[in-house]
Structure 1
Amino acid sequence: MGKEEQVEEREVLDSIFPEEITDISDTEYRISIKLDLPDDGNDDDEPSEPPTLILHVRYPDDYPDEAPMLDLSPPQNASPYPYFSVAADKEKLLKGLEDTIQENMGMAMIFTVVTTLKEEAEQLVAERKEIAAKAHEEVMLAAEREENKKFHGTPVNPETFMKWREGFLKEMEEKAQREEEERLAELKKARVKEPIKLTGKQLWERGLVGKIDEGDDDESIPLDQIEKLKVEA
């Protein structure tokens, strides 16, 4: 009875997994299971190819009245995947199949086992990716909080206000002093005038023509020189 059911199940599995199933013997085979994972499109470190695991199945003589013997392994030369490892997760995944096996005792169960195994592995990856995303978000938020501290002023209290007021008044006093110094400098500069020069007519009217050297063809002389001439006269 068990042998007939084993052959029948094996034929059904051939039609379901034509490319994924490989015979080892009449009572032993392996099925390649590729996980279906959503493409988040925001993880540059995540491989484009989702992970694959190999389910090894061996029928005992009394299967399906007796549980099948199962094992898991990764494909040869499989690239590491950040959220899944067959070697590390094998025990957890096989243990997760125990209830499914017990619920299906006496019936062909390998298709159900494969479906459950695939769902459990995909759920495991999804949970780990969610944890990693939350951890990354926390890191980003912490970095943002640190950055925002640069733009937050010192908390205002009586002590900090008095310190600010003292510095502000000192700054205003220094500014007023600089402005006063600049104003006085401008006034002093404005009082310095150019020497006043008289025309020839003005010199004649004041009787100063004879006091000027005949070789001087300038029509006017500085006022300070004129004052000196007046004294000599």
Structure 2
Amino acid sequence: MTDYAQEQQDEIEAIQSIYPEEYEEISTDPTCFSVFVQTEDYEDDTDVGAACTLQFTYTPTYPDEVPLVEITNYENITDEDDVEELQQLLLQQAEENVGMVMVFTLVSALQDLLHERIEKKKEEEEQIRSRKKEQEEAAEMARFEGTRVNIETFMSWKQKFDEERRLQKEKKVDTTIKLGKLTGKELFMRDVTLNESDIQFLDDGEDEGVTIDESLFEDLDDLDIED
């Protein structure tokens, strides 16, 4: 005949020695205790790692039947689907180990499951960061590439460019006029009367006569000038 009480007591002593800080006694009748389970990278009061409390209540014929198992106090596991999946997987592990003491097995299995969930969460976050980075890089490349050129876009650009050049030239001419800084050519083109100024000067010279100083030629005979 199986001595269930002795098997249960022996397992509790083993669990206390393996998890001295994580073990907590809740009651002796029925026998109920909890084990704090955490991932290796877990840090209290941070979002690093994950943890929870695994509570066991022995039935009178445990380990020949599944004990009452409850997962509480989740740390960094807020998704309800993850919580439900952990509970189902843990129950499956318990049923597979009926007939043997199983607290250590269930604690280890839960620890592995928590680790898997954390790694999955890290991968998802990394994928999100990677997609965001790719989108930012694509946007930056598009900014440098600008609009792809075809006949329609080129003609549209050239029309705008020519119009801007024309407006700039008109603005430059108007500014020059306002400042009174026309070039000689611009003055000539704008005032046609200027092309008669030299002729007027010559005509004025004929009317008044040209005075010649004859004394300048008196000593020409003394110069040795060849014919």
User: TM-score range, shorter-chain basis?
Assistant: 0.5 to 0.7
5+ residue gaps, structure 1: 40-45, 190-226
Structure 1 equivalent of residue 64 of structure 2: 65
Matches within 5 A, 1:194-213: none
Q: Distance in 1 between matches of 2:42 and 2:154?
A: 56
- Residue 104 of structure 1: CA displacement? 1.6
Other structure's SS at 1:111 match: helix
Q: In structure 2, give the amino acid aligned to 1:9.
A: E
Q: Which residue of 2 aligns with 1:124?
A: 117
Post-superposition Cα deviations, 1:55-84, rounded to whole Å, max 9, x if no partner, equal 110111111110111001117xxxx63xx1
| 8 Å contact kept, 1:34–1:53 | yes
Instruction: Give, in whole Å, the separation in 2 of the partners of 1:19 and 1:61.
Output: 27
Cα 1:38–1:166 change in 2 (3 A) is: farther
- In the alignment, the residues of structure 2 paired with residue 129 and residue 93 of structure 1 have an alpha-carbon distance, to the nearest angstrom, of 18
1:74 touches 1:86 (CA, 8 Å); kept in 2?
Answer: no
Q: After TM superposition, which residue ranges in structure 1, 4 or more long, deviate above 6 angstroms?
A: 171-179
Match of 2:38? Answer: 34
* 3-state secondary structure, aligned to 1:24: strand
Name the Cα RMSD after superposition. 3.7
Q: Give, in angstroms, the shift of residue 146 of structure 1.
A: 3.0
Q: Distance in 1 between matches of 2:61 and 2:123?
A: 42
Partner residue of 2:8? 6
Deviation per CA, 1:162-198: give whole Å up to 9, x if none.
233445556677889979xx9x944469xxxxxxxxx
- Contiguous gaps of at least 5 residues in structure 2: 187-204, 212-227
The answer to whether the aligner puts 1:52 opposite 2:45 as a matched pair is: no
Q: Which secondary structure state, in structure 2, belongs to the residue aligned with residue 62 of structure 1?
A: coil
Q: Quote the sequence identity (%).
A: 28
The answer for the alignment partner of 2:222 in structure 1 is none
1:149-188 equivalence runs, <5 A: 149-167=142-160, 185-187=182-184
Note closer, same or farther for the CA distance 1:29–1:165 as it changes in structure 2 (3 Å cut): same
Is the 8 Å Cα contact of residues 73 and 87 (structure 1) preserved in structure 2?
no
Structure 2 length-normalised TM:
0.64
Match of residue 103, structure 2, among 99, 106, 110: 110
Amino acid at match of 1:138: R
Q: Which has the higher helix share?
A: 2
Deviation at 1:25, TM superposition (A): 2.6
| Residues 96/152 of structure 1: CA separation in 2 closer, same or farther (3 Å cut) | same
2:100 counterpart letter in structure 1: M
CA shift at 1:142, angstroms? 2.4
